[in-house]
Amino acid sequence: MTPTEFEALPLAAPLQRALRELNYQTPSPVQAQAIPLLLEGRDLLGCAQTGTGKTASFALPILHAIHSNPRQVRPKSCRTLVLAPTRELAGQVGKSFTTYGQHVRFRQTLIYGGVGQNPQVSAMRGGVDVLVATPGRLLDLIEQRAVDLSSVEFFVLDEVDRMLDMGFLRDVKRIVSLLPSNRQSLFFSATLAPNIVELAQTILRNPARVSIAPETTTAERIEQQVCFVDRESKKPLLEQLLRGQADAVEGKLTIVFSRTKHGANKLAKSLCAAGFPADAIHGNKSQAQREKALERFKKGLTPVLVATDVAARGVDVKDVGLVVNFDLPNEPEAYVHRIGRTGRAGADGRAVSFCADDELEYLREIEKVIKMPVPRWDDHQWHHEALAERHLRIKTGGGKAPQSQGGRRQGGGGNRRGNNGGTRDYSNASGRQNRRGPASR
Ligand code: ADP
Ligand code: MG
């Protein structure tokens, strides 16, 4: 049985109160499935996309346990350890614990790199109930004997796929080796590739599995579109999109993804020059710079944020109405993470991807992962029909189609929109997918 209301869950009164104040009524699917299992003390392997409410699914049962069983914590120790891949994400998880636990007595702190370690060392001195950390700095502090993991009761690995992408596998294994074996472990990842499952097996004991299919999260709420264009046309197309966005939805924010740090800087600059206040965040910027840029973005002072994948990790801003993939990511999972930046907390979102000649292969991989074709949006002057056709041929015919075929053929009559007779077709994949596309004119 999965409860349909938070009130039906056996969560302690101070948590119920916080949820009422936050106006959370219905648990998200992950929460409805995971919370009862976690309250029973089970280990958990959770597979769910971003924006599905994973944080509350682990924070609430952990806070419940801390509240029901308060305990003196030993110096430098923690009862709960949450590992997150980036500082931003760790910060958000910490904030969520504070919010959900606002009526619970507990102590927590954050540990992450890029800032001085002394405040973190002092914060750990008396021990905490909840420690949220990124792996690298945590290991540093453990080596300096400023943190002791021997009394961890709850261990959470959040966004494991991203953690591995970032090269944290060894660090994670080392941290796990320092944990007591008698603990409850939770493992969350957007994808469960074989190497991830393998890692999970070494950490979890008889885990319950909770899985939320990507179809219900990404495809349903977020309107996805792909534009086939030449590389040079991407900038003018982006500007047209931003103009349309500003007219259509006042106060909505846009995140533009770039594959490289250099590209992100250049693009932000050129957008500013074109009259769209924009800022860039990426790994080369200091923590302070990134925080400042995020603050300005959230306030709408710079309503366009150009980001690389790593920097945008865990950015949870409610009013992101549009995500633009200026470059397609070369790993398909990143696509799912990127578009998850919009449509947060049940809001509608739109994700537009630009696909140039050298990105057709990436698009194909993405469509395999999301198990649906990304609907085309051709209704702009830079549309490159031959690319669109090549994409279709790659998908249906298998292998690469010769470049000379198709050319810039516009197709006869209705063909222009991709209704290519017997070939698989975007426009009828789902009625709602073309809401803002050509069909809606
Ligand atoms: P994830 O970690 O899966 O990406 P988060 O835990 O960050 O997702 O939650 C995404 C957003 O949804 C947050 O802004 C959070 O406050 C909100 N949220 C989570 N659960 C609920 C709920 N049951 N009702 C309303 N909003 C929720
Ligand atoms: Mg999360």
Domain ranges for the chain: 6-211, 222-395
Distance 142 CA to ligand 2 centre (A): 25
pTM over 0.75: no
Q: Distances from the Cα of 299 to the Cαs of 88, 219, 287, in angstroms? A: 17, 28, 18
* Max Cα-Cα span within the chain: 76
Residue 414 has pLDDT above 90, yes or no: no
Answer whether 6-211 and 222-395 agree in fold: yes
Amino acid at the residue 372 = M
> pLDDT higher for 40 or 345?
40
- Asked if residue 94 has its Cβ within 6 Å of ligand 1, the reply is no
Cβ neighbours for 232, distance < 8 A, ≥ 6 positions apart? none
The pLDDT of residue 415 = 33
Residue 32 has pLDDT above 90, yes or no: yes
The pLDDT of residue 246 = 66
Distance 49 CA to ligand 1 centre (A): 11
Residues in the chain: 441
The pLDDT of residue 432 = 32
Q: Label residue 34 exposed, middle or buried (CB < 10 Å: 0-12, 13-18, 19+).
A: buried
Mean pLDDT taken over the chain = 84
Q: Distances from the Cα of 125 to the Cαs of 43, 152, 225, in angstroms? A: 29, 15, 51
Distance 75 CA to ligand 1 centre (A): 33
The residue whose CA has the least distance to atom 23 of ligand 1 is 27
CATH of 6-211, one of 3.40.50.620, 3.40.50.300, 3.10.20.30, 3.40.1170.20: 3.40.50.300
Judge: domain 222-395, CATH 3.40.50.300. yes
- What is the number of the ligand 1 atom nearest to the C-alpha of 31? 23
Q: Which residues face 188 on adjacent strands? A: 46
Measure the CA angle with vertex 140, ends 138 and 143; round to 5°. Answer: 110
Q: How confident is the model at residue 154 (pLDDT cuts 50, 70, 90)?
A: very high
- In the three-class reduction of DSSP (H, G, I as helix; E, B as strand; rest coil), residue 125 is classed as helix
Helices (H), 114-180: 118-125, 135-143, 160-165, 169-177
C-alpha–C-alpha distance, residues 441 and 433, integer Å? 13
The pLDDT of residue 321 = 87
pLDDT digits (tens, 9 = 90+) for 387-412: 999 998 877 665 444 443 333 333 33
Per-residue pLDDT, averaged over 66-70, amounts to 97
The pLDDT of residue 427 = 28
